Amino acid sequence: MTYENSTETPRLICLYLSEKGRLLANRISSTTVALSDVEMAEIFSSFDQIVFVTTAAIAVRSIAPHIKSKSADPSVVCADEEGYYAIPLLGGHHGANTLARTIAATIGSQAIITNPSDRSGTYALNSFAGFHAVGDVAHIQAQINSGVTPKITKQLDWPLPAVLSESPTSETGPEIVLSIAEPDLNHLKESGIVQLIPEALVVGVGCSSDATPEEVSSAIALTMSEANLANEAISNFATIDIRKGHPAITALNRSTQFFTSSQLAEIVVPNPSDTVRESVGSASVAEAAAILSSRSIDSLISPKRKFRAVTVAVAQRATKLGRLFVVGLGPGNPDLRTYQAAKIISHAEVVTGFGPYVDLCSDLLTPNQKIKRFPIGEETERVDFAIHSALSGDEVALVCSGDPGVFAMASLAFERANLIGFDPNFISVIPGVTAALASSAVAGAILGHDHVYISLSDLMTPWPVIEKRVSAAAEADLVTAFYNPKSRRRVSQLNKAIAILSQFRPPSTPVVIAKAVGRDHQSVEIVQLQDFHGDQVDMETLVIVGSTTSTFSGSRAYTPRGYGDKQ
Ligand code: SAH
């Protein structure tokens, strides 16, 4: 089984006018073009997200002739050339607000959000991940913004967006209907109802090698419409792996799950076909793929429909597709946070982690998200909460400082996923700048040659094992970064570790004492090994001891790339 387009990154282009604009545009996107070189009609129809690094007036004049409708237009954000502001101009609730926040976090600017729902601290109906709001959205949103409690009617068994399921509901308020039925827009508008359509359906597709993209897309449209199902409810497509790269499947331009013929052959389907079995080895493609992808055996809600070169079947997913992102925030400052991390956090439905780490990304959080802060310790509880939220269908960002793989939550997430029964393929680890890299950079380049990271916390590793590793690092002459060097209760280990290294390194070896790097109260000191004392070291400090070749350069320290004369 493989996935295509499964992360579905929106296509983003950044347009600029001047050289200054170009430099800023390069920090925002890898696709940048001078505004003078583009045909705006083409850009408008080919990209999901457009960022102008120009004045707002230029951006507005450029897009004005092309604006069609809320659902069809791309999200448009304007950033000034100085990089002070990022302003969503179009599609605020279709990604532009999030994009503006992400840009702001990436380039250190401020996002100017003008939608009332984002400012009033309530959720926005049309920006729930995995849901589409249609009908009388603006009217009901306005009522919710002014404090009216909506009535929520569920027409299918499907989890509501996390924040909505926890909000109060009323019997009399404006109505929000959770349904996958094809929406009757006139009726919804006239009755003042919002239909919230969850992406709950899998469309299984079988096609012959000569099927055209038009045949496949119209077969799907017809099947959906005859079964009275909303197109917005499609979560993904599913088919057989031999159709990977088939132009009609590629043209669907959506997440598509592929199964082998032997996987498909194991599924019992209502409408098997001997011809299909002879040709691909499984008696069913459309029905079997839909059932397999839905992860439930009795999920078929529209059995196979046959067209000239296409078969289509629709199943309802057992659960919403939840994902767990274990996200590294870097050491603290948003400047040192990756664009990918910012994007994932601002799109997540649930953001969780140790409280102060959640605060490190507060600039990315929105009222649409469920936020859960955990106290210190409780690491297993944090991970279990994140996994259970993902199991119930939420997109979850579990945030960690630095890198999630360095003495943080990523490994624990895989361990607990195995125990809890959460598919590890639905865990993504988003890297971050770990404390050692950030500290070494502030101090110079002490990690310039081979190095090792050792945690001095004996909560997870017995002290004799740690001691053995410190001795090995000392003998191997590796620059040694000590994570968790000291806590209020654990003070002696650092001195013991320094004593071991001192047996192998000259007294003049530089030692970097980096505290709260990338945070407001950052302090970085470099001392000689002989003068080291751990008084100022605490839980927010990283200690890096140089190797025998590490040396001072003015007030900085570095480790040469080669051994040169020193060997
Ligand atoms: N995942 C984190 C490390 C977690 S272990 C990372 O990749 O950076 C926690 C230890 O990391 C702290 O005790 C401290 O030694 C170090 N640390 C984390 N953030 C730091 C920062 N901003 N400045 C200095 N040290 C830091």
Is there a contact between 513 and 490 (Cβ–Cβ < 8 Å)? Answer: no
CA angle 279, 284, 288 (to 5 degrees): 140
pLDDT digits (tens, 9 = 90+) for 216-246: 999 999 999 999 999 999 999 999 999 999 9
Question: Which is nearest to 99 in space by CA: 19, 26, 32, 11?
Answer: 11
CA of 523 relative to ligand 1 center, distance in Å: 14
CA of 541 relative to ligand 1 center, distance in Å: 7
Structural domain spans, the chain: 2-114, 125-198, 201-316, 323-433, 445-566
pLDDT at 567 over 60: no
CA of 487 relative to ligand 1 center, distance in Å: 12
Identify the pLDDT of residue 267: 95
Q: Which residues form ligand 1's pocket by a CB distance below 6 Å?
A: 331-332, 400-403, 406-408, 434-435, 439, 483-485, 514-519, 539-542
* Architecture label for domain 323-433: 3-Layer(aba) Sandwich (3.40)
Question: Which is nearest to 175 in space by CA: 147, 129, 116, 135?
Answer: 135
* Mutation choice for ligand 1 from 453, 489, 540, 543, CB with most ligand atoms inside 8 A: 540
pLDDT digits (tens, 9 = 90+) for 128-154: 878 999 999 989 988 888 888 999 999
Taking the C-alpha atoms of residue 289 and residue 286, their distance in angstroms, rounded to an integer, is 5
Torsion of Cα atoms, 512 then 517 then 521 then 525, to 10°: 10
Q: Which two tokens stand for residue 403?
A: 């890198």
Identify the pLDDT of residue 9: 60
Minimum-distance ligand 1 atom for the alpha carbon of 516: 23
- Give, using CA atoms, the residue closest to atom 13 of ligand 1: 484
Query: What is residue 218's three-state secondary structure?
Result: helix
What is the band of 428 on the pLDDT scale with cuts at 50, 70, 90?
Answer: very high
Minimum-distance ligand 1 atom for the alpha carbon of 435: 8
Kind and range of the H or E element at 33? strand 32-34
Question: Which is nearest to 485 in space by CA: 507, 516, 454, 446?
Answer: 454
What is the band of 7 on the pLDDT scale with cuts at 50, 70, 90?
Answer: very low
Is there a contact between 170 and 150 (Cβ–Cβ < 8 Å)? Answer: yes
CA of 403 relative to ligand 1 center, distance in Å: 9
DSSP 8-class letter at 49: E
pLDDT digits (tens, 9 = 90+) for 151-178: 999 999 898 887 888 788 888 889 999 9
SS3 per-residue string spanning 117-161: HHHHCCCCHHHCCCEEEEECHHHHHHHHHCCCCCEEEECCCCCCC
Lowest mean pLDDT among 98-112, 197-211, 475-489, 501-515: 98-112
- Which of the following CATH numbers is that of domain 2-114: 3.40.50.11220, 3.40.640.10, 3.40.50.2000, 3.90.180.10? 3.40.50.11220
What is the share, in percent, of the chain residues with pLDDT greater than 90?
A: 73
Residue type, 469: R
CA of 238 relative to ligand 1 center, distance in Å: 43
What is the band of 1 on the pLDDT scale with cuts at 50, 70, 90?
Answer: very low
201-316: which CATH topology?
A: Nucleotidyltransferase; domain 5 (3.30.420)
| 445-566 is classed CATH 3.30.70.260 | no
CA of 517 relative to ligand 1 center, distance in Å: 9
